[in-house]
């Protein structure tokens, strides 16, 4: 079947990456249509109610849609506006809040990809006669026999395989990644040369689909503040007050409000532990960063995209998005839980975040960090 007979729906976000991905698909001869996903209703959710200033994302959200329309018009492709607000709340945002209430630090992008971009969107595309979907993610796919493998992007600074570690084999099989072999600079150059309307648009940041916000204020609309003690983990001394342990993350330095403490070595502090039960936030001085080290990680909610790692074998692992891959010895505890032994202890491994496993350039999948140990002692869970 020629590419002209293959109908592809591209997720068009209003940004430059998805716009260039759509352009490349057209140049490759595919029959291309586009879908803009609306997954967050700021007016209906409580971040606007009682705090109108946080509703300022209404304009950017509509601007993204208008940008997507302009791109679709420039490329001559049909654009669907798709409402996944309920699915996003049920499958992503509820999980996001539940994790924070447990004192963990979730990564909603993982489940936004798993349940929305690569599942609800894929089903919508199929219902509209599409054979495949495509995304502007920086990732690649390699098919060997009947299996599809997820590969790192050529642009290591933009690689997004970490956020794709929870997608399934079926989802990967049905997806094209037109930008996988490209550098971001090349994407920008193509957009400018083709007069794409968003060629110079700034890249988006923030929580998947929710956007850029004052994050602590945003969370307070869903998880009420409950002040408590900030305790120096080395001395057990109370050195400040926090607004609620839920709002902080392991390794966080900014926003603690405990500078210039009497009888303490000058310098910043960072979060090393959150005791949700007793509402205590433990911190350490920047001179005591050994409190952040972990050498054993318990990981659950496992998902393997193609191949399951071998027990006792050393793989590469990442525990946050921009971290370099470091060695980890994998041991399965059961089908949904594994232990990672780290020959090189790592800092600020955070419960709720993803532990993603790599075999060379292949992203095998991974799971969620459940607990972290150092030299046999529980550090965080």
State the catalytic residues: 112, 208
Angstrom distance (rounded) from CA 279 to CA 275: 6
Task: Report CA-CA distances (Å) from 152 to 110, 149, 229.
Answer: 16, 10, 43
Judge contact between 318 and 350, C-beta under 8 A. Answer: no
Task: Residue 315: name the closest of 335, 292, 331, 303 by CA.
Answer: 331
């Amino acid at each position: 079947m020629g590419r002209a007979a293959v109908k592809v729906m591209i997720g068009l976000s209003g940004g430059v990456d998805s716009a260039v991905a759509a352009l490349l698909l057209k140049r490759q001869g595919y029959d291309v249509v586009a879908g803009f996903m609306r997954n967050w209703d700021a007016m209906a959710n409580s971040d606007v109610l009682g705090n109108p200033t946080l509703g300022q994302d209404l304009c950017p959200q509509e601007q993204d849609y208008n940008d997507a329309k302009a791109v679709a018009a420039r490329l001559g492709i049909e654009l669907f506006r798709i409402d996944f607000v309920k699915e996003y709340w049920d499958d992503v945002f509820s999980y996001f809040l539940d994790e924070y209430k447990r004192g963990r630090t979730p990564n909603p992008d993982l489940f936004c990809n798993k349940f929305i971009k690569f599942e609800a969107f894929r089903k919508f595309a199929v219902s509209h006669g599409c054979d495949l979907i495509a995304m502007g993610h920086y990732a690649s796919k390699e098919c060997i026999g009947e299996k599809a493998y997820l590969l790192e992007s050529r642009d290591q600074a933009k690689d997004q395989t970490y956020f794709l570690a929870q997608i399934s084999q079926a989802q990967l099989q049905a997806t094209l990644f037109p930008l996988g072999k490209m550098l971001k600079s090349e994407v920008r150059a193509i957009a400018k040369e083709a007069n794409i309307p968003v060629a110079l648009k700034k890249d988006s940041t923030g929580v998947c689909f929710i956007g850029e916000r004052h994050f602590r204020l945003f969370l307070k609309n869903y998880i009420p503040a409950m002040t408590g003690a900030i305790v120096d983990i080395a001395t057990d001394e109370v050195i400040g007050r926090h607004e609620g342990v839920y709002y902080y993350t392991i390794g966080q330095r900014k926003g603690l409000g405990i500078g210039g403490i009497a009888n303490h070595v000058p310098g910043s502090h960072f979060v090393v532990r959150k005791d949700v039960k007793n509402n205590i936030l433990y911190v350490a001085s920047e001179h005591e960063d050994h409190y952040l080290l972990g050498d054993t990680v318990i990981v659950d909610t496992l998902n393997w995209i193609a191949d399951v790692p071998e027990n006792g074998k050393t793989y590469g692992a990442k525990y946050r998005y921009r971290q370099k891959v470091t060695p980890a010895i994998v041991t399965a505890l059961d089908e949904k839980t594994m232990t990672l032994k780290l020959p090189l202890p790592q800092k600020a491994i955070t419960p709720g975040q993803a532990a993603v496993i790599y075999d060379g350039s292949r992203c095998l999948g991974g799971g969620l960090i459940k607990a972290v140990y150092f030299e046999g002692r529980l550090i965080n869970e």
